[in-house]
Each structure stands twice: as C-alpha cells, then as structure tokens.
Amino acid sequence: MTHTLVVVWAGFAIGLIFGAVGQRIEFCLTGGLREWWGEGRPRRAAAFVLAVAVAIAGTQLVAGLGLVDLGESLYLQAGFSWLLIPLGGVLFGCGMMLARGCGSRALVLLGDGNLRSLVVLLCLGISAYVALTGLLAPLRLSVAEATTVTPELTAPSIPGLLESAGLGPGIARALPAILLAAGLAAFALVRLGLFQTPRDAGGAVIIGTLVPAGWVATGYFGADDFDPVRVESLTFVAPVGDAIQYLMFSTGTQLAFGVTVVAGVLAGSIAASVLSRSFELRGFESPGHMLRAIGGGVLMGVGGALAIGCSIGQGLSGLSTLALPSFMAATGIFVGAFAALRLAKQ
Amino acid sequence: MDLPRHFSRGILTAAAGFALLVLGAPSWVNAQGRAAWERIDAATELLDGATPRAGSIRLDLPAVTQDGSSVPVTVEVDHPMNPDDHVEALYLFAAGNPSPEVAEIHFTPLAGKARITTRIRLDGSQTVVALARTNRGEWLAGQRDVRVTVSGCLSQGNSSDNSDFMQARVRPPSRMAPGEPGEVRTLINHPMETGLRKNPDGSLIPERIIEEFRAELDGEKLLAARFHRAVSANPYLLFFVAPGRHGELALRWEEGEGAGESATATASIPD
C-alpha cells in the first residue's frame, strides 16, 4: 500500500469508530452545553471535556516522542488573524445551537435516520467553501491579511509561550499538557460527576484517543520525502465541503484524509444505529424548523471557515496542539453558544 | 415508404440538422477558439510553422485545486520510445502565467517511456499545454484546463526553515512488474525564488532557481530537464528507466552559475 492509501484507510477507520461511539453515547457539545447550562445536567458536556483531556495528553505524547511534527498543522501556523478566529468561533457557536448540533453530530444523526441533518450538512459544507474559496473568499483573505499577527515565539502555543519565558522545550511541552489534561479530566469526572456513568466516560476516552490517532495517521504514516500528506486530525467543516466536492469531482481530485473520516463517521453511525435498532427516519416539523437548520448550517460553515475549525476541529484537534488560536476559537464557540442559548430563552 | 409525410419530413430535418452540426463543428471550433498552444508566443516560436498532432499527449492535473503554488501534473506522451522512433523533447507551458514557460524535458530511449510527474505553479485558472517533438521531427500536442481557487487554508508551511537547503533526495525503482519501465522519484530542497516575491520590507527577493537537472545511467544520458520559475519550490521530478537496465544512476541539479548538488542511486530494472 502506498502511504496515501494508508492515510485514507486510517481516516475511514478513525471515522468509523467516531461514528459508532458517538452514536452510542450521543457525543455532542451542543446538546451537552444546552443540558448543562439550561437544565443542570452536565453528563454530555463532561464527556466532551474528558475527550479534550485525553486528546491533549495523547497528542502531546506523540508529538513529544517525535512521531509527529505538529508545527506543520494548520493550528500552529506562525501567523493568525486575531479577529477572524474568535469571530468565526462565535458564529460557529451560534450556528451549532441554532441547528442543535455541530457538523460531526449532524453526520452521526444522519446515520441515525435524521434527515434534517442532511440539510444542515449541505448548508455547512457549501457555505464553508463559499467562505474558503468562493464568493466570500476575497473578503475573508483581505480581512485576514489586515488582522494577522505573528507573535515572536517558536510556536504560537502554550509551550511556545513557556519557552520564551525560559523553560526547556521538553518541560514547556510536558508541564502544560499534564496540568491541563489532569485538570480537565478531574473536572469532568469528579466535579461534573462523569465517573457515575462509566459508559460515557469510556466512550469519551475512545473519542479523545482518536485525535492523536489522526495525528499519527497523517503526520507519521503520511510522512513521505517526496509527497507528504498534510498533517491534520479530526475536523468537520472543510472536510464536509470536501466530501460534497469529492462526490462531484472525484475523477479529478485526490481522496483525502478528511473525506474518508466523514464517510467513516456516517458508516459507523449507520452501523451502530441499525445494530442497536434505533434507526428511524425523521424530517422537519415545520418550515421554521427547516429555516433554523439552514441558518445553523450556514453559520457553522462560514464561522468554521473563518475560525479554521469547528467544535471538533478547534475544540478537540486544535486544543490538543495547545495552540493559542485554538483557545481563542474555543472561547468564541462557547461565547456564541451561550449567547444563542440566552437569546433562545427570551 | 409508407411513413406519414410529416413524420419523414421531421426525420429529414433532424438528420440534416445533425449533419450540419457534425460537419460544421470543426470549422466552428477553428473559427471561434484556436488550440491553446496557438496563443502562446513561446510555443509558436518553438513550432516554427509546424502543426502539432493534437490529442496524443495526456495531461493529468486535478480538475480543481486550492493550492496554485504546487499543482501536481503528470504528462505522458503516447508514443514509442525505441531508438528509431522516440520522443526527444517535451515542453510544458502555462498559458495564464506571467511567463508561460514551465519546463522542458529531453528524453533518450533509455527512459523507457515519455512520462514525467512534477509540481508546478499556476497563477489562477488556466490551460496547461504540452508539446512534444520526436526524433523524426514530428510534433505532438496536448492540453488541459485547470481551475485554481484561492487558498482555502492560511497554511504557509514552515518554509522559512532552510536547514535542509539543497538537500537532494532520490528514490530508486522498487516493486516493478517485469518488462515495465522503473519509476525514479527525485526531489531537491530549494525555494525556486521567482524574483516576483517581496521581502516584508518591500524589496524584491532576487530570482534564484534550479535551472537544470540531468540524469545519467552508467555515464549514458537518460534525461535532462530545464526548469523555469513556474516549477514549484523543492522541484520534484518523477521519470522512468527502460526495462532491462541496471547500473548507477547519477543525478545532478544546477543553479545557473555552476552551483549545484549531485546524488546517486542504484537502478536495476528487470527485463
């Protein structure tokens, strides 16, 4: 097998596990935040927090062992827009509340028979490319150029900050990774009480592990002297658009990691849903309901494009690299979700 | 014929229309849109009045690409490669670039097939054109449209790191079917500065490119390439060695004034 074939099959396997586990434990940041902030039930939010902790620990481990050069990833590029990253996060946060689920959740729900998610995904994928390469791209690029900052650091990340404060590279990586992973895990398990539902905790650990697995797939198995694969892990904005594009242009494009992850999530969710006999076709109840899905999909697509990632892309994969822009994007997503929840209550 | 009158007349009209369309199409194409190579001065100069046979060069490029700075392109000339009749030279042009010349490749029959893969810079959506000349003086042509969108991601790569500058890499043929030409991959770390880019302080970065690449097998000329600035950074070239050849592959990259880098590899291609 060529290295590109290894990478795309690894992507499919990772997606398959994500889809199946996500379907079983209803892994969802949107639902988690809504239940936690709105109803005082933090079970699903806690699962997301635990997954972040595992992703950070695992990713920093594979990077520390030298298996993967995270510096090649999108999240650790030297310059980033101080405006578009948090702004995109806020738009994405609003969108995921409006559509009642982010891109990855929509894929899992589609596998469950929820046809509303198909509308969300189509709107998300197309509007992401409107902002990435289409009608809004010139505007995005000119704003990005005017607002890009390049911090004087070895990398725009927490380890980069600590190194500039005089710490050695090893300790600058290990210290924040251990503290953050342990702190978040303790918060999820003890403070939010996830230890009471070991099934959710187990599922969250598996999903968190898929992030370093993605880094290893693209950054280690995809490394090649002549034709290296782009270093990336789980994300669900551009890949949803890529998947739509692949359906239309497959004879003229190369199959990439993100697309097989999307296909895998859908397949995994369908399998888990059918095996557990929970598959059921569902549609919209009213035009207003459909409008919410469309609006949410568009906000997520555009927001995710501006923020270079979604709740999974920046929230799991981005945070796992300890990149500063990912913390800005994640904060934006929380603010947007909170604002949307407040507005919806009134 | 017992067909109703209006029916047969309908068929006749349709047939006449169809015939007009079929017969008229080529002249219409000639009148409206010329072949892409005709619009490239460098290509018409090269041809010097000759008319190339279209459709015998296959260009393989992505239909849509988000990264115009590195577009993979495979060019294969559908022509034998024996000493009597072989492809001698292959020229690549990008009609929409500031300077359309991309690269030229000179083959010998030792290459086994007139096929290469490289990565090129494309300044926007355009037509990529290939011309090939055989040792008998026959010209062949091929073209392909590419859509290049702006970069979807802000990734600039960490190319500022030049610790591996001029580091040459070669992967000799492996896993070959008997009787098939063997595939050689080569790459050298080099920025291929176009001379069009600016420093942060606004001054132009001077042009600096790998101009020439040569490959020899046991001292015998196999392939030579001339790169222009439309060849992407870290110039990559995949080419072939004819079956039944064994020996030491000597590669040489040159930057103009004699500065360069060499690499060797062993090639052993089964019959």
Greatest alpha-carbon span in chain A: 59
Residues 6+ apart with CB under 8 A from B164: B189
Element (H, E) at B73: strand B71-77
**pLDDT of residue B14 exceeding 80:** no
Partner residue opposite B171 with nearest CB, options A226, A245, A252: A226
**pLDDT of residue B17 exceeding 70:** no
- Give the CA-trace dihedral at B7, B8, B13, B14, to 10 degrees: 70
Of B116, B136, B141, nearest in space to B60 by CA = B116
What mean pLDDT is predicted for residues B118-136?
94
3-state secondary structure of A299: helix
Mean pLDDT of chain B, nearest integer:
84
CA distance A259 to chain B (A): 15
For B167, half-sphere exposure in the C-beta direction (CA atoms, 13 angstrom radius) is 7
Q: Which residues of B touch A146 (CB under 8 A)?
A: none
Reported as a pLDDT band with limits 50, 70 and 90, residue B6 is low
Partner residue opposite B158 with nearest CB, options A71, A138, A249: A71
Q: Percent of chain B having pLDDT more than 90?
A: 55
Question: DSSP letter at A8?
Answer: H
Reported as a pLDDT band with limits 50, 70 and 90, residue B173 is confident
Q: What is the pLDDT of residues B230-269, one digit of tens each?
A: 999 999 999 999 998 889 999 999 997 778 888 888 888 8
Partner residue opposite B64 with nearest CB, options A80, A225, A252: A252
**pLDDT of residue B154 exceeding 70:** no
Q: What radius of gyration do chain A's Cα atoms show?
A: 19
- Written as tens digits, the pLDDT of chain A (346 aa) is 799 999 999 999 999 999 999 999 999 999 999 999 999 999 999 999 999 999 999 999 999 999 999 999 999 999 999 999 999 999 999 999 999 999 999 999 999 999 999 999 999 999 999 999 999 999 999 999 999 999 999 899 999 999 999 999 999 999 999 999 999 999 999 999 999 999 999 999 999 999 999 999 999 999 998 989 999 999 999 999 999 999 998 988 889 999 999 999 999 999 999 999 999 999 999 999 999 999 999 999 999 999 999 999 999 999 999 999 999 999 999 999 999 999 988 7
* pLDDT for position B29: 41
What mean pLDDT is predicted for residues B175-203?
85
What CA–CA distance (Å, rounded) separates A51 from B141? 56
Q: Which of A74, A77, A132, A133 has the most B C-beta neighbours within 10 Å, making it the best mutation to test the interface with B?
A: A133
Domain boundaries, chain A: 3-345
Which residues are B224's β-sheet partners? B106, B214
DSSP for A132-199, please give it: HTSTTHHHHHHHHHHHEE--SSSSSBHHHHHHHTT--HHHHHHHHHHHHHHHHHHIIIIIS-GGG-HH
Q: Which amino acid is at A298?
A: V
* pLDDT for position B159: 45
* pLDDT for position B242: 92
**pLDDT of residue B163 exceeding 90:** no
Per CATH, domain B36-268 is 2.60.40.2470? yes
Instruction: For chain A, say whether B149 makes contact (Cβ under 8 Å).
Output: yes
- ipTM score of complex: 0.77
**pLDDT of residue B156 exceeding 80:** no
